[in-house]
Structure 1
Amino acid sequence: MALRSARDSQIFIIGCGISGIGAAQKLLHHGFHNVHIIEATARSGGRIRTGRLGDNIIEIGANWIHGPSKENPVFRLACDYQLLDKESMSEENQAIDVGGHPLFVPNWFTSSGRKLGLETMGPVVEFFMKLLERSQQFHDSGGEPLPSVGEFVKAEVERLAPEEWKEDQTNIAVKAAMINTLLKLECCVSGTHTMDDVGLGAFGMYKTLPGLDCTFPGGYEGLIDHMMKELPKDLVLYNKPVKCIHWNYTKNGPSGTSFPVTIECVNGETFAADHVIVTVPLGYLKKHQSTFLSPPPPLHKLHSIQRMGFGTNNKIFLEFEQPFWDEDCELIYLVWEDETHLADVVSDVKMSWIRKLVGFTVLKPTERYGHVLCGWIAGRESEHMETLSEHEVLHSVTQLLRIFTGNPTLTPRKLLRSQWFHEPYSCGSYTYVAKGCSGYDIDNLAEPLPLKGSNSKSLQVLFAGEATHRSFFSTVHGALLSGWREAERLASHYTPASGSFSSKL
């Protein structure tokens, strides 16, 4: 077989999200020059997507830099590219550690049109957050008493609430309803249908970084634009959905060289490769697991793809003429007073999907966004919402807000919503560690093919993306770090201990 130097290795990256872009940058930095990204759509960025509602910039996909501090590579890049405001980059902002739950100033509205005060609701939030913190401790201590976070939290509320709330008997029903609202909010944070699907023992695997979560004044896509400018113009092949990756498969190239991998696109085009880095979302892998790789991956890898959770969390943006919320308000909670039985799902998705809409974040600062709210809804109710017309969604949300504010004339001016479940190359929003899963499942997802110890040429298919990062799954920084990790894996494969860059082909 004709030998090629390492620098000549044909490397293809599937998916032009931040993971794929990061991998490409790192590979070029290491001296590889035959690097290409194959992207199914016409755009870069993947689940980072910035849009507009009228004149306002809004994030249809990724919203915040979670934990903007020195340890976060997305924050470091955003600072290098000067994409953040001074406050977000300040030492004080980087030092604040909120354990992944920013302390937003809230307004609470109920289904009887009442506005609740901090004295009633503050202690409920505190109580709930303590239970969530305890849910995260079983990862290190072991001995999970129940299979899921939802079951644990609900059991603890039943056990502790009578004592916790005995001083304020008048509001017991509304406090129970508030727990449901907080459980629904946690579904949005985890990207799951119900917290009963999130594994209790694995819940603490997710690690938070210090820093008060911040946003990009010019939109998250600005980060993608800057990263793309550092790549050669022709590196990305757009509008080429991949049908199948044939690995352990020798194809002879035009000059008699052989390649172990062939990428087959939906349009019939094929590409021969030495290495392929797959960065597609877990939702896509789940949907196409029987056809995307040929031969199929080993059973333990397939089982981990099946077991791991991947859910939908959507946003519904509304613009108003005037705010109905307090000036300092950053988060609006909706509390259904008749929901006193602990549950974070609705009994009839088609009829009652709107009840899963947990509340809204207020886009700040007002000078930049005007009066815009971002509503949050997760799970199957969220997936059903995607199937409705924009007019139907606007009507439902308008009725909802009129009930909760007690204002029968309240009318949003504009609406825009995300539809991540029906995005054909995402099939949902992001990863969570489901009931029965552990860190080994994430390791299995990240494991390259063929497996170690086989006689085949190694590192034919590598895997990156947020689902493959053990402690930062579901985040942009997890996606970026995983892309870098796989690029480094290839670089070290070609760099013997002496440090010289030679061929191991």
Structure 2
Amino acid sequence: MGPGWPSQSLVLPLLGFLLGIAEASHPCDVIRGSYSDWIGSAINKDVVIVGGGISGLSAMKKLLEEQVTDVVILEAQDYLGGRVKTYREGSILIEEGAEWIHGGRRNPLYKLADSLGMLTQPLEDSEYDWRLKTSGGDEASEAGYSVAEEVFNQCGESSALQGYYDTAHGQCFLDRFESLYDDGSTSPEEKNAWLHYLNMWALRDGGVNDWMEQSARDVDQFIAYGGEDKLNQWSQGYDALTNYLKSSIPEEKIKLNTPVCKIFWESDPNGKALIVTATNEAYLTDYVLVTASVGHLKERHLQLFDPSLPARYQNDLNKIDLGVADKIQIGWESPWWEKTDPKPLDLHIIFKNFDLPAEESWLYGIMEVLGVHQQPNVLQAFVVGDSAREMENLSTDDVQRHFLKFLSRVTGQTVPEPSFFRRSQWGKNVWVRGSYSSYITVSGDQAGLKSREPLAEAIINSYGNRVIHWAGEHTHLSRYGTVDGALSSGRRAALEILEEIESDH
């Protein structure tokens, strides 16, 4: 080996990784060695961005606009966008990740999509084939739905949330439901069915694992852009945003399939950070911007950072979590739910009897099956919380079989074999470990994390350099769990780095 190359003891396991024969529980587990083993082969960069999601791309765009050009994005996966992931198959276009532009005109993404001629308007409620069913196929009570809707809306208001700051968001739902639901004319089974429906609704829209886990104070810090029910979309796919951001970035500044496995942030005598990838590359940089999901950081920070992150930051990571909300997407050659003049289906489901076979119990995590906008032959369902994790561990064939059987039972109709089927598995993705929304836990709030501000604070090494910066939806103080929040966080981090560069000069 020539000078600057890692030793043979390092190269052999890396070759095993590249050939797909390494036996490791995580793609980065094959990486070995210390700072001194890697520094000789390091490539110098002013800034290294870890992660090519929306926050990383946004940061890169801003840095390039300000003439900071010695920058590279290292993305672990084979695509850009992170949890923005559009999938196409023939004439079908679905969003495996982010789908909507929440909040209407106040959302900067609304203005951007509109300026690019790629904005669609949401359908009115009257344009849907709206159905309310039990899991056994009977008609469900509209009165029960009205109560669930009222409770859901009330527990999104600051006036209600402030009374629950020291406890869980779910407690608001439980209390309001108990006070509003009149069960004098209904069975206990129906009341419990609507409470379960409300629970799944809260998990789906909040992107959390358990409604008794999320701090009500955290919920109240979210700022809605004039109502989150204003759901616009990108007409040609959400990856139009990814492509827009990427269009201003030279191709050579983006490296896909390049997982970052180690960040040495205290070892360099000049106070820089040394980054090592699973592809046997090393980068020496003044600033590293980490945009990885908080799910990945919680799982891998002890292996990723050398030395470990400051105790303060580690403790704050333990006070936040990332939920799992997966999607089931299924399509046919034509709509089967209505033969003449079909509308997009909007099927709401309550479980009066929890009598599904054990292997199908993941279906309890579904409360609505909805037509996909601009895809008249495709239906979609969210699967949330523990049910999502159960679903992810099943084979695709089993998930499809269970879901078709369930649809037939609920609708009372014969459901034909589909021509398209896809399900997401965000929890199993080792680079994400969850879906769209992070949340401060009740225990985290009680332990002192009252906002996300500490998660966005740069890490200063012993040389006095603010060497590690952070971005991503979990670092936004008021628009966490949104794409515009991720976009804004990347720009904010880039501005921080620009200030550092300017002060150094």
TM-score after normalising by structure 2: 0.82
- The whole-number CA distance in structure 2 between the counterparts of 1:436 and 1:278 is 26
Residue matched to 2:396: 390
Instruction: Give the partner amino acid of 1:355.
Output: Y
Is 1:41 equivalent to 2:77 in the alignment?
yes
Offset, 1:408: 4.8
**Aligned CA distance change for structure 1 residues 48 and 130 (closer, same or farther; 3 Å):** closer
Query: Alignment RMSD, CA only?
Result: 2.9
Percent of residue pairs identical:
25
1:115-155 residue CA offsets vs partner (Å, 9 max, x unmatched): 3464x345223432244235x4366x4x5276212233223
Residue matched to 1:236: 254
- The whole-number CA distance in structure 2 between the counterparts of 1:9 and 1:288 is 24
Tell me if the contact between 1:349 and 1:384 (Cα under 8 Å) persists in the aligned partners.
Answer: no
- The whole-number CA distance in structure 1 between the counterparts of 2:315 and 2:138 is 48
- The whole-number CA distance in structure 1 between the counterparts of 2:472 and 2:301 is 16
Residue matched to 1:4: none
Among candidates 132, 136, 139, match of residue 115 of structure 1: 139
- The whole-number CA distance in structure 1 between the counterparts of 2:356 and 2:462 is 53
Offset, 1:54: 4.5
Residue matched to 2:213: 197
Instruction: Give the partner amino acid of 1:279.
Output: T
Counterparts in 2 of 1:60-459, with a 5 A limit?
A: 60-69=96-105, 71-85=106-120, 87=121, 106-116=130-140, 118=142, 120-134=143-157, 136-137=158-159, 141=162, 143-144=163-164, 147-162=167-182, 166=184, 169-170=185-186, 173-210=189-226, 212-250=230-268, 258=270, 260-320=272-332, 321-324=334-337, 327-328=342-343, 331-338=346-353, 350=359, 352-365=361-374, 369-408=375-414, 411-430=417-436, 431-438=438-445, 440=450, 442-450=452-460, 456-459=463-466
1:52-76 residue CA offsets vs partner (Å, 9 max, x unmatched): 255210001111111232x423223
1:390-432 residue CA offsets vs partner (Å, 9 max, x unmatched): 1101111111112211225555443111111111211111312
**Aligned CA distance change for structure 1 residues 269 and 409 (closer, same or farther; 3 Å):** closer
Offset, 1:285: 0.1
2:224 is paired with a residue whose SS is: coil
1:49-101 residue CA offsets vs partner (Å, 9 max, x unmatched): 101255210001111111232x423223323332224x47xxxx9xx9xxxx9
Instruction: Give the partner amino acid of 1:280.
Output: A
- The whole-number CA distance in structure 1 between the counterparts of 2:281 and 2:45 is 20
Among candidates 61, 64, 81, match of residue 28 of structure 1: 64
Tell me if the contact between 1:138 and 1:200 (Cα under 8 Å) persists in the aligned partners.
Answer: no
Instruction: Give the partner amino acid of 2:232.
Output: C
**Aligned CA distance change for structure 1 residues 129 and 379 (closer, same or farther; 3 Å):** closer
1:274-311 residue CA offsets vs partner (Å, 9 max, x unmatched): 00000000010011021111111111211111110201
Tell me if the contact between 1:193 and 1:312 (Cα under 8 Å) persists in the aligned partners.
Answer: yes
- The whole-number CA distance in structure 2 between the counterparts of 1:158 and 1:406 is 32
- Out of 237-246 and 73-82, give the one that drifted further: 73-82
- Out of 265-274 and 407-416, give the one that drifted further: 407-416
1:250 is paired with a residue whose SS is: coil
Tell me if the contact between 2:407 and 2:415 (Cα under 8 Å) persists in the aligned partners.
Answer: no
Is 1:504 equivalent to 2:504 in the alignment?
yes
**Aligned CA distance change for structure 1 residues 240 and 329 (closer, same or farther; 3 Å):** closer
Tell me if the contact between 1:124 and 1:175 (Cα under 8 Å) persists in the aligned partners.
Answer: no
- The whole-number CA distance in structure 1 between the counterparts of 2:99 and 2:442 is 26
1:192-241 residue CA offsets vs partner (Å, 9 max, x unmatched): 22211111232211111137211112111111112111111211122111
- The whole-number CA distance in structure 1 between the counterparts of 2:94 and 2:218 is 32
Tell me if the contact between 2:147 and 2:181 (Cα under 8 Å) persists in the aligned partners.
Answer: no
Structure 1 segments unaligned to the other structure (5+ residues): 1-7, 252-257, 340-345, 496-502
Is 1:470 equivalent to 2:468 in the alignment?
no
Residue matched to 1:3: none
Among candidates 476, 494, 505, match of residue 501 of structure 2: 494
2:504 is paired with a residue whose SS is: coil
- The whole-number CA distance in structure 2 between the counterparts of 1:122 and 1:389 is 33
1:467 is paired with a residue whose SS is: helix
Tell me if the contact between 2:51 and 2:75 (Cα under 8 Å) persists in the aligned partners.
Answer: yes
**Aligned CA distance change for structure 1 residues 426 and 349 (closer, same or farther; 3 Å):** farther
Offset, 1:486: 0.6
Tell me if the contact between 1:145 and 1:152 (Cα under 8 Å) persists in the aligned partners.
Answer: no
Tell me if the contact between 2:108 and 2:484 (Cα under 8 Å) persists in the aligned partners.
Answer: yes
Offset, 1:42: 2.0
2:195 is paired with a residue whose SS is: helix
- The whole-number CA distance in structure 2 between the counterparts of 1:356 and 1:108 is 16
Offset, 1:473: 0.8
Tell me if the contact between 1:50 and 1:57 (Cα under 8 Å) persists in the aligned partners.
Answer: yes
Tell me if the contact between 1:73 and 1:481 (Cα under 8 Å) persists in the aligned partners.
Answer: no
- The whole-number CA distance in structure 1 between the counterparts of 2:273 and 2:358 is 44
1:61 is paired with a residue whose SS is: coil
- The whole-number CA distance in structure 1 between the counterparts of 2:68 and 2:455 is 25
**Aligned CA distance change for structure 1 residues 133 and 189 (closer, same or farther; 3 Å):** closer
Tell me if the contact between 1:308 and 1:441 (Cα under 8 Å) persists in the aligned partners.
Answer: no
